[in-house]
Copies of this chain bind each other. A is one copy, B any other.
Amino acid sequence: MHCYLLTIGDEILIGQITDTNSAWMSRELNACGIRVVGKSSVGDTAIAIREGIAYAAQHADIVLMTGGLGPTKDDITKKTLAQLFNSDMELHEPTLERIKGYFQRINRPLPHSMYDQATLPVKATILTNKMGTAPGMWLEQGGKIYISLPGVPFEMEYLMTAEVMPRLVAQFQPRPIVHRTILTSREGESNIAKRIEMFEDTLPSHVKLAYLPGMGEVRLRLTGVWPGEIIPDAADVLTREMDQLQQQLTDLIPDLIYGYEQDSLPIVIGRLLSERSLTLATAESCTGGYIAHQITAVSGSSAYFEGSVITYSNDLKMSLLGVKMETLGTHGAVSEATVREMCSGARERLGTDFALAVTGIAGPNGGTPEKPVGTIWVGIAGPNGVATEKLTFSRDRLKNIHLTSVYALSFLRQILLTM
């Protein structure tokens, strides 16, 4: 089954936004055995949209469009679709009700443009967008499927996951397909590849392994597609085979794997803390609250996370965490000695079982020959004392902040596992 992606919007062609949607959608589609054969971007004109759709339909069974669905004048995708499918436009009452409910909840008057937003081609199946006002649309014509989704990433991701993928899988993928996602941190793609080379070389041909690299993390995805004739318990047989392969992979790199499927480091850490009835605090300098944000992005984190102290200045390192002036004077703010006092101070003053502290030079300025930009110290204070680790990253500020968070949480996980 082939799919062609079409992104609509001048903002992509003038380079104002980077298209991250396409990569996300390609991964999801590929994981379900739907091949993306090409993608195009066109501007916000009827003629460009029309031509883009025609070209896409020549190359694939599914044309998946994003963008151009807002209520303002530059968004004309919907009208162009209605014309293309010879469909009248009508006010779609359920959509209007949903939008009205949203504006009621946020206590704002309903803008008149929302009537346009809820006016939709009658031939389209409406895909309910629980994350925004513009609904998705599903149209079929001449044996092909045309899907139109809003371009805002989290709205698109919601609609793909909740509406589009289940429909596509039901329509096109009768062959059982089983995925396993294995989450690793702290090693790059090529080093992981080296360690699991044998495993990869001996995978059966109906199972594929994909590396999905992120910052400081690599997700490994095993996709098995039932190879032969479909037997009644094909799905179960394939599931058992995938379980075994996942176990083999886990045995090869247990030190790198922190979780599976929808896990994340903060979720895994939350689980470890909850199971052991332990509490956590953080003390952050160079990460400026990013680690606390990662931890508190998890719903229910208030059960184990007490709070954090972000001490950007040396004064606050002393007054809020009790770091000694001599320590700062002798070793500097970015040092093992300082991070030790930061995590011990946080553990004591915030009254938690564990405290994670980081101090470093995020950059791009502020480095010295001895302590270049990207030098970071991590400390973890717990009931059994303090453990520290030095990290060395690059000159990119946001990358350093993100990588520090991944490595520090990874370090914390290892320590919690020994409790």
Which residues of A are interface residues toward B (Cβ below 8 A)? Answer: 10-20, 22-28, 30, 35-44, 48, 52, 55, 70-75, 102, 105-107, 111-114, 117, 131, 152, 154, 179, 181, 188-191, 193-194, 200, 208-214, 219, 221, 223, 282, 284, 287-293, 295-297, 299-302, 305-313, 315-316, 319-320, 349-351, 362-365, 374, 392-394, 396-399, 401
Contact = CB atoms under 8 A, between A and B. Distances in A.
B310 A292 contact: yes
Contact of A212 (B11, B290, B313): B11
Number of copies: 2
Contact of A113 (B190, B200, B212, B363): B190
Contacts of A362: 296
A315 B302 CA distance: 12
Contact of A19 (B19, B70, B365): B19
Contact of A297 (B73, B117, B398): B398
A26 B37 contact: no
A113 B196 CA distance: 13
Contact of A10 (B10, B22, B210): B210
Contact of A307 (B18, B25, B131, B311): B311
B44 A210 contact: yes
A192 B311 CA distance: 39
Contacts of A305: 288, 312
Contact of A16 (B71, B181, B374): B181
Given A13-B38, A306-B316, 14 more contacts: A12-B22, A13-B35, A14-B210, A15-B28, A17-B23, A19-B22, A39-B41, A40-B40, A72-B189, A74-B209, A106-B374, A111-B190, A307-B309, A307-B320
B316 A350 contact: yes
Given A16-B210, A396-B131, A399-B154, A37 B30 contact: no
A41 B296 CA distance: 35
Given A40-B40, A293-B288, A15 B25 contact: yes
B293 A70 contact: no
27 contacts: A10-B208, A13-B26, A15-B23, A16-B23, A18-B23, A38-B40, A71-B190, A71-B193, A72-B193, A75-B211, A105-B394, A106-B392, A113-B194, A284-B289, A287-B293, A287-B296, A288-B296, A288-B301, A289-B293, A290-B293, A293-B293, A299-B364, A302-B312, A306-B313, A307-B312, A316-B350, A320-B320
